[in-house]
Structure 1
Amino acid sequence: MSHCRSLACDLARLAWRDYYLGRPSMHDWKSELDALVAEAMAFAKSLKVEIEQPRPEPKKVVESDGLSLPDDGGSQRDEIRKRVESFKAQQERFMREREEYANSLLRRIRPITKF
């Protein structure tokens, strides 16, 4: 008798043992799966779990006793404007550099391509 150590041999031995002992075969896996799902669903329904939702904290109302709040909107707008201007300047610089590179490349290629 040879000693087989592969997964296929293990599965064959298990199938033979199940057949010999009268257990359900792998052909009946769908019904076993359905039974397992039904058992799990019944178990889940039997559990009584209460989940507490966190309550939002009430917002505190601050009264302004004639005090004016600083207007940060202007400074944020200025910062955004500066960033946009910086971005546009950088994009223009990139365009100039690309055009300069393309022109220098064309100047180098033209003498080679003229016949």
Structure 2
Amino acid sequence: MAIPLRNIVYEKIKIAGSLTDSELSKALIKAGISIPEDEFNKTLLNLEIYGLIKVTWLTKEDRRIEIAEKEEGEDEIEKQNMENLEREYESGFPGVDQEQEIEE
């Protein structure tokens, strides 16, 4: 069973951390993988769309490729969903809020 090309490319980027497109191409050739330029660009685009890598232009001809960092901040929608779930859970216990108001 062959390993998909995008997995091999991602592993090379992951090991290097950050490299240019020409360095990545040379690393792939050194590993015995020769791919056409259009297939190479398509693979990079797919990895970028999946959110695994980040590609930025250094010069007119050179691109910098690095692993995308995941954001640590909470998603606003996820936060709202959690608040709604907590409210629904608490509403499943009638009288609890009334007892707390009496005690205060």
When normalised by structure 1's length, the TM-score is 0.23
- Pair member with larger Rg: 1
Structure of higher RCO (CA pairs closer than 8 Å, 6+ residues apart): 2
When normalised by structure 2's length, the TM-score is 0.24
